[in-house]
């Protein structure tokens, strides 16, 4: 992580915790009701963990349908997150002023491909941090053309860069579709979005990566991400955020805690500064405040245990850094600006996310999970990548795709609990739960 100044209080909190040997943990949490949202933030702030807060927005706000969000607030209709624009900047500022501070900054998480109205509201509300990017919030969540998303995100970056205390901005590029995107492309997209942010005046940023299907491969990927960031973002204040697996989640409590445990250990081993945590409720419903706090405290307990142990997993050596660097460099050669290069790269299939149905994605690349659990390229499409000889290129059937999508669910739910799993659990959840 580069040592540059100035930096906002979100990054200061991350850096201070990292210097103390603590992993910062963060929930995915958002409620429409102001009182409940405040209660949730206070619960996270009081957790026995090095935590930062989250306000996750609702689906109407993500697509700029603020009239529907306002109508829901008037009628009491259920929303799946916090309608920041509908509540208004003043209301949101008062909410934040009542709970946030230097030791507890709050990030707004949204999912909007064309977020300029939202960014204006966040600036007016004094939000500490947010997330997204012109590719990572366009391809998975929107039908908007990438060219429109690039233009909108350029305006957003320039808006917050012009503020006396710019918000921290996190690239979501390392989390494309949540799963079945090989690590080299995730790393390249996260770096490219970070370079896009830098191009438009931001220096307080983070890069993301989502836990996949093989701990050693994930270690290699995060090392590649950190190396490329160190090479390309020397003048920025940056850190790495890891996401607990974002695909089909284990359905049993044991499986859920096991996959969370593995992501925490991966975060500590890889030197990641921040972890976005999931709860055992994820496979079934939106988690409660108590469930979010329990997951944060469990993660903190595992992180402290892992910090005192010798690493038990070694990084693979599959060429992720070289592939990611090739994708970054060859994309940047396509145009004089990062934004235009991203547009051209997807138009040519030079960047191609497997199984992504967005109209601007070629969708000719394919990936598969090999017998050892590593996520590999089966077909690179028109991307400048070489696939090892002897790998299968048979078309993936619908059944085969579903089987791959459920790989981690089966891995963590169906294997017998063996000696050593959950050994870091020296923590009593607020409510008794069975781990058998």
Percent of the chain with pLDDT over 90: 78
Residue 2 confidence (pLDDT) above 90: no
Residue 4 confidence (pLDDT) above 70: no
**C-alpha to C-alpha distance for 327 and 383, rounded to whole angstroms:** 8
The model's confidence at residue 417, banded by pLDDT at 50, 70 and 90, is very low
CA angle 31, 190, 342 (to 5 degrees): 110
Collect all residues with Cβ–Cβ distance below 8 Å to 21 and sequence separation of at least 6: 307
Confidence (pLDDT) at 419: 38
Tokens (6 digits) for 271: 């030197």
Of residues 179 and 52, more confidence is placed in 52
Could you tell me which CATH number the domain at 1-436 has? 3.20.20.240
Tens digit of each residue's pLDDT (9 = 90 or more) over 240-285: 999 998 887 888 888 889 999 999 999 999 999 999 999 988 777 8
Confidence (pLDDT) at 391: 53
Tokens (6 digits) for 38: 């405040």
Tokens (6 digits) for 227: 């190396």
Instruction: Tell me which DSSP letter residue 174 carries.
Output: G
Residue 105 confidence (pLDDT) above 60: yes
Instruction: Tell me which DSSP letter residue 226 carries.
Output: H
| Average pLDDT score, the chain | 90
Q: What is the mean pLDDT of residues 194-200?
A: 98
Question: Do residues 76 and 23 touch, judged by C-beta distance below 8 A?
Answer: no
Percent of the chain with pLDDT over 70: 92
Q: What is the mean pLDDT of residues 323-339?
A: 98
Confidence (pLDDT) at 430: 43
Least confident residue range of 56-65, 227-236, 389-398, 406-415: 389-398
Residue 3 confidence (pLDDT) above 50: no
Tens digit of each residue's pLDDT (9 = 90 or more) over 289-304: 999 999 999 999 999 9
User: In 3D, which of 352, 370, 318, 365 has the Cα closest to residue 213?
Assistant: 370
Tens digit of each residue's pLDDT (9 = 90 or more) over 8-29: 899 999 999 999 999 999 999 9
User: In 3D, which of 139, 188, 131 has the Cα closest to residue 160?
Assistant: 131
The model's confidence at residue 415, banded by pLDDT at 50, 70 and 90, is low
**C-alpha to C-alpha distance for 196 and 337, rounded to whole angstroms:** 8
Tens digit of each residue's pLDDT (9 = 90 or more) over 179-194: 899 999 999 999 999 9
Confidence (pLDDT) at 396: 75
Confidence (pLDDT) at 294: 95
Confidence (pLDDT) at 311: 82
Q: Residue 344 phi/psi, 5° resolution? A: -70, -35
Tokens (6 digits) for 261: 């445990």
Helix (H, G, I), strand (E, B) or coil at 304: helix
Residue 48 confidence (pLDDT) above 60: yes
Of residues 426 and 78, more confidence is placed in 78
Of residues 7 and 251, more confidence is placed in 251
Confidence (pLDDT) at 402: 83
Other CB atoms closer than 10 Å to residue 68's CB: what's the count? 17
The model's confidence at residue 209, banded by pLDDT at 50, 70 and 90, is very high
Confidence (pLDDT) at 354: 95
Q: Give just the sign of the alpha carbon dihedral 183, 184, 187, 188.
A: negative
Tens digit of each residue's pLDDT (9 = 90 or more) over 338-395: 999 999 999 999 999 999 999 999 999 999 999 999 999 999 999 999 876 445 456 7
> What end-to-end distance do the CA atoms of the chain give, in Å?
40
Tens digit of each residue's pLDDT (9 = 90 or more) over 127-146: 999 999 999 999 999 999 99
Put simply, whether the predicted model's pTM sits higher than 0.85 gets the answer yes
Least confident residue range of 77-86, 193-202, 213-222, 247-256: 247-256
The model's confidence at residue 416, banded by pLDDT at 50, 70 and 90, is very low
Confidence (pLDDT) at 418: 47
């Amino acid at each position: 992580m580069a040592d540059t100044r100035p930096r906002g209080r979100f990054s200061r909190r991350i850096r201070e915790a990292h210097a103390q040997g603590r992993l910062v943990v963060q929930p995915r949490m958002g409620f429409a009701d102001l009182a409940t949202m405040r209660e949730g933030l206070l619960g996270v702030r009081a957790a026995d963990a090095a935590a930062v807060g989250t306000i996750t927005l609702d689906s109407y706000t993500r697509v700029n349908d603020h009239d529907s969000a306002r109508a829901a607030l008037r009628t009491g209709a259920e929303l799946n997150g916090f309608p920041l624009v509908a509540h208004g900047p003043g209301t949101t500022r008062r909410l934040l002023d009542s709970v946030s501070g230097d030791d507890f900054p709050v990030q707004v998480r949204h999912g909007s491909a064309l977020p300029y109205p939202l960014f204006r509201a966040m600036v007016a509300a004094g939000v500490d941090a947010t997330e997204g990017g012109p590719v990572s919030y366009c391809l998975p969540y929107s039908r908007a053309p990438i060219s429109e998303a690039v233009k909108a995100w350029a305006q957003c970056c320039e808006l917050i860069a012009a503020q006396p205390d710019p918000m921290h901005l996190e690239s979501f590029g390392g989390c494309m579709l949540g799963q079945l995107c090989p690590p080299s492309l995730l790393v390249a997209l996260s770096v490219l979005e970070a370079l896009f942010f830098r191009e438009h005046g931001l220096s307080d940023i983070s890069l993301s990566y989502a836990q996949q299907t093989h701990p050693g491969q994930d270690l290699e990927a995060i090392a590649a991400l950190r190396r490329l960031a160190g090479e390309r973002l020397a003048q920025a204040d940056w850190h790495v955020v890891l996401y607990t697996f974002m695909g089909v989640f284990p359905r049993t409590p044991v499986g859920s805690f096991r996959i969370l445990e593995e992501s925490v250990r991966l975060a500590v081993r890889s030197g990641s500064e921040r972890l976005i945590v999931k709860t055992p409720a994820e496979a079934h419903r939106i988690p409660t405040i108590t469930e979010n706090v329990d997951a944060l405290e469990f993660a903190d307990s595992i992180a402290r245990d892992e910090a005192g142990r010798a690493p038990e997993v070694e990084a693979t050596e599959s060429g992720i850094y070289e592939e990611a660097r090739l994708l970054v460099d060859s994309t940047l050669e396509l145009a004089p600006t990062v934004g235009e290069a991203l547009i051209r790269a997807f138009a040519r299939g030079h960047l191609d996310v497997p199984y992504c149905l967005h109209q601007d994605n070629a969708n000719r690349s394919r990936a598969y999970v090999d017998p050892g659990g590593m996520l590999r390229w089966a077909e690179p499409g028109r991307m400048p990548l070489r696939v090892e000889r002897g790998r299968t290129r048979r078309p993936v059937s619908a059944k085969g795709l579903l089987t791959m999508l459920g790989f981690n669910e089966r891995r963590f739910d169906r294997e017998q609990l063996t000696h050593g799993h959950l050994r870091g659990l020296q923590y009593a959840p607020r409510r008794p739960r069975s781990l058998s």
